[in-house]
Amino acid sequence: MWELWCLLWSYRKKVRGKGVTTEQAHMPKTYGPFKERDPNAGEYLIIGFSPSSVPLRQRWRNNSLSADFLADYVTSFFPAEDDDSSYHRAEVKDAVSYIANELLENAMKFSADTSKFPVDISLYLHPDEVRFYVTNSTTVATTAALKEKIDDLLSGDIETMYFNQLEENAVAERDSPAGAGIGFLTILYNYNTHVAWRFHDVTDPSAQTVTVTVMISLDTTAPIKP
Amino acid sequence: MQDIALKGENYTITYDEASSTITFAGTCRLWPEDYTTVNASLTELAAQAPERVILDLCRLEYLNSSGISMLTSFVINLRNQQDSKLLVIGNRAYPWQNYALRNFQRLLPAMELKIE
């Protein structure tokens, strides 16, 4: 009887344990200093890209068009009254366009081919910073490699990683253009930014896809590092 | 390396052999594989260790990270040749060039940089 009770207790623990694990599995996981979207920030814009039958290569130009649109939009809030403010406005525009384009290129490249989920980019204007949020879905297999990359980006020395990656690419690019792994490094090394990610667990179990949101905050008081 | 000319919706990339000048202009944010031809030409040019090369980016408004990586590879390949002199011409109206071109210079300190 005692043995039976122990067995039952052990079973209950396992069931409870599993319950907790399942709940945790659906909790979003955050990496880095993720700041929540703040609809009270004042100005914000969201652009969504629906899954499409048009090949990615044909849609590639939309990344640049959208990035330039976001950058032009932001300039309205940075009046050019003299040489200094004109240059500051140009710097913010340049940074927003570059960062938005890189984030969209990444999201498009790594979105699951079979995904039914859209890619979206939103931009929130705060008094001292612009925050970008880009959400896409990706495969579970891609996620593992991405998490490794994230660990490196959050814990490594960005300057060393930046120049090492360029030296590695120079060897790889003797055969074909690669440009691999340099997008986030350019954003973090050249601009005054912070990056964070949020993973929402399996959003489509049948397709084994996961939704990922990357957040970049850009310091608009000094967008480009000196 | 022969003269090259690549034109897209918003960009042009040219190489003038007579003046040994590579020019990028417009907004150059190609799909990574679309840089293949230009990348091959730049790699070939660096391998020939030309005495002097001019990289004119005066009219290059934007370049994506794949393009930055490709041009940086070219700079690194020239550095490894040790016999080539490189002049890069930039434009202060395009703020990204301030850091990108200085990063080139860090990899190739002998590079001459003119930001106009």
- Residues 6 or more apart in contact with residue A48 via CB below 8 angstroms: A118, A119, A120
Quote ipTM for the complex.
0.94
Nearest chain B residue to A101 by CA distance is B64
Strands A209-219 and A129-139: antiparallel
Amino acid at B107: L
Interchain contact B102–A (C-beta under 8 A): no
- Interchain CB contact of A90 with B (< 8 Å): yes
- B62-99: string of b/e by CB count within 10 Å (b at 16+)? bbbbbbbbbbbbbbbbbbeeeebebebbbbeebbbbbb
**Average pLDDT over all residues of chain B:** 93
CB-based burial of residue A186 (10 Å sphere; 0-12 exposed, 13-18 middle, 19+ buried)? Answer: buried
Cβ contacts of A57 on chain B, cutoff 8 Å = 31
In the three-class reduction of DSSP (H, G, I as helix; E, B as strand; rest coil), residue B103 is classed as helix
* pLDDT at A155 exceeding the cut of 60: yes
**DSSP conformation class of B109:** T
Q: Nearest-CA neighbor of B26 among B14, B37, B18, B38? A: B14
Inspect the interface and report whether the beta carbons of B62 and A166 lie closer than 8 Å: no
| Average pLDDT estimate for A124-137 | 95
Considering all CA atoms of chain B, what is the largest pairwise distance in Å, rounded to the nearest integer? 36
B interface test, pick of A173, A175, A190 with most B CB neighbours within 10 Å: A173
- Residue A35 burial (CB < 10 Å; 0-12/13-18/19+)? middle
Has residue B58 got a pLDDT over 60?
yes
What mean pLDDT is reported for chain A?
84
Instruction: Kindly state whether A91 is in contact with chain B, defined as any CB-CB distance less than 8 angstroms.
Output: yes
Q: Is A75 on the interface with B (CB under 8 A)?
A: no
Residue A176's pLDDT is what? 59
pLDDT in tens, A84-93: 999 999 999 9
Q: What SS3 string covers chain A? A: CHHHHHHHHHHHHHHHHHHHHHHHHHCCEEECCCCCCCHHHCEEEEEEECCCCCCHHHHCHHHHHHHHHHHHHHHCCCCCCCHHHHHHHHHHHHHHHHHHHHHHHHHHHHCCCCCCCCEEEEEEECCCEEEEEEEEEEEHHHHHHHHHHHHHHHHCCHHHHHHHHHHHHHHHCCCCCCCCCCHHHHHHHHECEEEEEEEEEEEECCCCEEEEEEEEEEECCCCECC
The reported pLDDT for the residue numbered A54 is 78
Q: Which whole number is the average pLDDT over B54-65?
A: 97
Q: Could you tell me the CA-to-CA distances from A106 to A115, A212, B111 in Å, in that order?
A: 15, 12, 31
A134-151 burial, b for 16+ CB within 10 Å, e for fewer? bbbbbbeebbeebeeebe
Q: Cα separations (Å) of B113 from A116, B82, B93?
A: 48, 17, 15
pTM for the predicted model, two decimal places: 0.89
pLDDT computed for residue B27 by the predictor: 97
What chain B residue is nearest to A89 in terms of C-alpha separation?
Answer: B95
**Neighboring chain A residues of B10 at a CB cutoff of 8 Å:** 64
pLDDT single digits (tens) B37-52: 999 999 999 999 999 9
